[in-house]
Amino acid sequence: MSQLLKKAVRLALVQLASGMDKAQNLSNARARVLEAASAGANIIVLPECFNSPYGCQYFASYAETLLPSPPTVDQSSSFHALSTMAREANVYLVGGSIPELDPVSGKYYNTSLTFGPDGTLLATHRKIHLFDIDIPGKILFRESEVLSPGDQITIADFKGYGKVGIAICYDVRFPELSMIAARKGCFLLVYPGAFGLTTGAMHWKLQGQVRAMDNQLYVGMCSPARDVNAGYVAWGHSFVADAMGRVVTEAGEKEEITYADLVGEEIEEARKGIPLYQQRRFDVYMDVSTSSVRKQDLLL
């Protein structure tokens, strides 16, 4: 039996097409989650901002209040929809992300909610690194004009399987998060993300493969479906990379579900063949996983 992944698991990435109608987006997500569960998925991931269009002009108007937890249905219809989906499907559900309004500070966040098979909230991740980039002639985007950054690393225990690290989109570009999650015993990292056409073509697949290769574990990157008529056009191509950095399944551009069967022995074989964990030189450089981490890490 693998120490990291206790038994084989089927991962489903739901590449969802979302529009302006939140209720319709939630209904579509439910149908797709139930479809994935009927195909044998045990862990299901939705995309970033799955309940709304993605864009700074939408964050405030689609934001929901999550605190104090649990919120009422009026405060967060998405929270209750996700909880119900997870319970109906009897799966672990990483609910992509939704815009969140903190009622105390008045700040907005890009927040991912993860639920267990009984519908219980397991983890909350507020996007730590905000998507502020300027590539002349191609893309200018500043999430920080509306959003505030989170400050917690998120690791959840999927009982019966193992530990999963959860982050959002731009977080994938910062390897420290994945290093800490890997050294805390995660078998899988999931990144709901909405890379655009420019950065998607350059780095979407590369980033996920590198995080998998460096840490010798599975990585799932879940994108919205591509809508060329949207204000922000997502790249699509949701995929799973294995512990050697190989892409084992990949979606196209349209709405679809892509599946991967994860096996703990594949992680062990990768780490035995290329023994990075025995060869690291923490006498020369610091192990970032020994730095202080906050509340979410107490889920370990």
Which residue in the list 22, 100, 127, 186 is annotated as catalytic?
127
The two tokens of residue 217 are 């574990």
Q: At what angle do helices 205-215 and 175-183 cross, to 10 degrees?
A: 30
Nearest to 242 by CA among 230, 252, 250, 234: 250
95: phi then psi, degrees, rounded to nearest 5 = -80, 50
Is residue 186 annotated as part of the catalytic site, yes or no? no
Which residue in the list 49, 100, 163, 169 is annotated as catalytic?
169
Q: How many CB atoms lie within 10 A of CB 140?
A: 10
Is residue 255 annotated as part of the catalytic site, yes or no? no
DSSP 166-210: E--GGGGG-HHHHHHHHHTTEEEEEEE---BHHHIIIIIHHHHHH
Measured CA to CA in angstroms, residue 84 lies from 19, 24, 210, 239 at distances of: 21, 16, 34, 26
Measured distance CA(37)–CA(293) in Å, rounded? 33
Residues 249-281 as b or e (16 or more Cβ within 10 Å = b): bbbebebbbbbbebbbebbbebbeeeeeeeeee
Which residue in the list 22, 48, 143, 205 is annotated as catalytic?
48
207: phi then psi, degrees, rounded to nearest 5 = -60, -45
Nearest to 128 by CA among 172, 165, 96, 186: 172
Is residue 48 annotated as part of the catalytic site, yes or no? yes
Measured CA to CA in angstroms, residue 220 lies from 21, 33, 207, 241, 250 at distances of: 27, 16, 11, 7, 10
- Just list the catalytic residues: 48, 127, 169
